[in-house]
A and B are shown apart, each in its own frame.
Chain A
């Protein structure tokens, strides 16, 4: 570990512990030459024009911490917290700066060097180490939410105005819940979904995750249907866990590593060709397990086995023809697909294959929508500002269907469009493909 408590003084009294900036991060920081070519790509800098909230500025702050020029003061933390971790700056950067890794390891360092107040720590401990790490707890919570929604409790609470009493963040969270009439995926899924057609052309295991599995089961079912229609056999892995993305992004890497190990275990020895996911955020982290567990051979092997569903399908043809769908469609690239996994052409190519689809380019599709994991809850003001631009871009296309391949973005954009009075449908690309197959 990077930290090093230093004891000082004759009396043996403990001086405030000092933590060393991680050497690996310090080394990675050297690749930034301060050219500023990333500024125009950063959503937060575009909003407020503050160098402290630009990629170059944040890297300079982190360099300042690494070289001991500045202290981890609250203002520094605030600017780093305001980063969406969307990694658009990585795509923009000609020098190949590994921004995401630098930020996440710096956050890990800051959690120890300048720990958050106790109540935040406690809440995070509960959320990260208990809720997401323990499927039983998460599914109980979802059941409660489902009850609240379907029992009429929600309508009742809304009608008597109780929701207005909630703090804005909770209200937003409440509003963004997907409708939970959908049944969860894994608990209802067979061990194997056979491929359509003759012999399967490949076998894959579906990474169905935590929240998405419980709340957005429909997207998984659509994904399975599409894979089957492409002649692919799909295996369900019941023992899998949350991918750990939220923890890694928040600098809680140890919890993330624990989850990673469990997933590596769960997906081991299945004899499948690929592990497929349909959530950009999860996919990006699954592919990074090797970096988070350096030295662990299995982690590297696991990371290489993961693919986004669009990567799997891109070069293939379905075993039965597409049906026609007449609609105007635009696509918003999830940051963790585009910037973290560098997947841009495949989803678009897949969507354009559907006969009848009129494709409209979404302006600034490479900019974040402001969802960014739990960012919309932790930084509601910036999240809303970023979302507003996204919704206006969508409005300018007039598209009937908006597609995006990440559950968080999907819920965020759906909510934004609804509030702005847009009548478009917001779907996962797999849902549209499933309709056409």
Chain B
């Protein structure tokens, strides 16, 4: 048989049989060599091989799989495209991976009311493509949008360059169908905004797979702007570019997007696309303005003034759509292009007050220098959402060690500046240990209680998002003696 494992099964045989009965044997993977690629997501530092990978095709199948896991006290992890950058989809403690990539149908496209109902495995960009001819798009545009799924976006509350003006995922999700960790199906919100009762949709968005599995998502569709103008401004230093960011915002302008790319990343991108970026420049800003055609040129003029007042070397507008798209390709795929500089990178994700940009960026560079590593930056400057990249070689354990230390210092700099640990990539398992630095024990306890309302037994993606109090919360096995102490399970949503 194709699906016989080479090694002893990592999940109980009974559970394996139930999973196979739920989705068909061809949709359950248990062989070690096939589970290997599921040991990590977009971040390769944290790895754990799952107990099994189950491909689901419908809500009914998700229910069956979740119920089987619950009965066996087996932890499970939802997975979309595995592009997450905080180890969110890593299956700790042999968890069963519930792979949603095949639930990728757009169920309803209500163009008149500008809403869509989609399955969680729909790839972000495919949704925008599906309504492009109608002049609409799905606004949150993570740089990974050609690969990542709406389900993953919901779980991470993902942002993107254009969420500066339009808001992140939570502002665009109206309702959800969720399979709770005990197998019950609940509907949170719906196609209409502002339903009465608690905003549980808002609560679920950003829950990193720890509240259950989203199986349907109602999203808002956004009209394409009448006109768009994209500017590229070149600066001698990161410092000058950061000052320009503040100058633009200070003039009361909210650009559609405002992205900073530093010298390292400029070089990587230039080697790939040959755009004619000045590789000697300290940084460039990619600034997009959109809205009504009238007045856009005026606005662009004011932005250019702000840049010039901050020592910019050159600022120009993309001459046509083709150039505009190319500039965006350069920005959106910049992480990947960094592969030209180094075999591995560690991306961080912190939000700081914009005014602290120069100070924190200098600290990041210093941390890299101290540990003998190169750092690079490409990020959403408009909302102060940093993405420092630490470059290293994963085959040299000692270098990995240094990268981890450097990373700790980078995060410390973010926290010191009054910043937050995650703008959009989530806490996952990767930033867990920093949570107590930014939240009090009471804050964390509050979060745990919310989590336990959804998942009292810690079966849904245990060991992620909030630090555990007790070791069973990580393992997803609740011992009987803990039962008395637990909060009563949630009744009906």
Contact = CB atoms under 8 A, between A and B. Distances in A.
Interface of A: 30-41, 48-52, 56-57, 60-61, 64, 67, 69-71, 73, 75-76, 79, 92-97
B24 to A, nearest CB: 13
A40 B33 contact: no
Main secondary structure of the interface of A (DSSP, over half): loop
Nearest to B57: A49
B82 A64 contact: no
Nearest to B4: A75
Given A41-B146, A57-B37, A94-B333, A34 B42 contact: yes
Contacts of A96: 271-272, 339-340
6 contacts: A31-B339, A32-B339, A35-B83, A35-B339, A51-B38, A95-B340
A39 B34 contact: no
Q: Which 3 interchain pairs have the tightest Cβ spacing?
A: A95-B339, A49-B101, A94-B336
Contacts of A73: 6, 31, 33
B116 interface: no
B334 interface: yes
Contacts of A95: 272, 336-340
A97 B339 CA distance: 9
B460 interface: no
Contacts of B82: 36, 51
Given A61-B37, A70-B33, A75-B33, A35 B335 contact: yes
A49 B344 CA distance: 25
Contact of A36 (B42, B334, B340): B42
Interface string B130-166: 0000000000000010111000000000000000000
Given A39-B83, A94-B339, A33 B344 contact: yes
Nearest to A92: B146
B37 A30 contact: no
Contacts of A70: 32-33, 36
Contacts of A50: 55, 99, 101
Contacts of B336: 33, 35, 37, 93-95
A34 B40 contact: yes
A81 B171 CA distance: 43
Given A94-B272, A96-B340, A37 B144 contact: yes
B374 to A, nearest CB: 14
A63 to B, nearest CB: 10
A41 B144 CA distance: 12
A75 B6 CA distance: 10
Interface string B19-42: 000000000000111101110101
Contact of A48 (B102, B335, B344, B395): B102
A60 B37 contact: yes
B224 interface: no
A385 to B, nearest CB: 13
A33 B339 contact: yes
A75 B82 CA distance: 21
A36 B81 contact: yes
A69 B37 CA distance: 11
A71 B33 contact: yes
Contacts of B148: 36
B187 interface: no
A76 B31 CA distance: 10
Contacts of B31: 73, 75
A76 to B, nearest CB: 5
Given A34-B40, A52-B37, A60-B36, 13 more contacts: A33-B342, A36-B82, A36-B144, A37-B146, A37-B336, A39-B147, A40-B125, A40-B147, A41-B146, A67-B395, A95-B272, A95-B336, A96-B340
A61 B340 contact: no
B379 interface: no
Given A35-B336, A37-B147, A40-B123, A49 B99 contact: yes
B345 interface: yes
A52 B55 CA distance: 13
B272 A61 contact: no
B357 to A, nearest CB: 25
B138 to A, nearest CB: 15
Contacts of B146: 37, 39-41, 92
B104 interface: yes
B246 interface: no
B334 A49 contact: no
Nearest to B39: A60
B73 interface: no
Contacts of B342: 33
A49 B121 contact: yes
Given A40-B123, A41-B146, A31 B340 contact: yes
Contacts of A48: 102
A93 to B, nearest CB: 7
Interface string B237-274: 00000000000000000000000000000000101100
A354 B229 CA distance: 35
Contact of A51 (B2, B33, B37, B104): B37
Contacts of B34: 52, 75, 79
A57 B146 CA distance: 16
A198 B153 CA distance: 64
Interface in B99-129: 99, 101-102, 104, 121, 123, 125-126
B340 to A, nearest CB: 6
B83 A33 contact: no
A99 B34 CA distance: 20
A79 B42 CA distance: 20
Nearest to B333: A94
B343 interface: yes
A362 to B, nearest CB: 14
Contacts of B222: none
B365 interface: no
A145 to B, nearest CB: 35
Interface in B304-340: 333-340
Of the candidates B32, B37, B102, B147, the one having the most CB atoms from chain A within 10 angstroms of its own CB is B37
Of the candidates A34, A38, A61, the one having the most CB atoms from chain B within 10 angstroms of its own CB is A34
A157 B219 CA distance: 57
A39 B81 contact: yes
B44 interface: yes
Contacts of B44: 34
Contact of A33 (B101, B269, B338): B338
Nearest to A96: B340
Nearest to B44: A34
Contacts of A60: 36-37
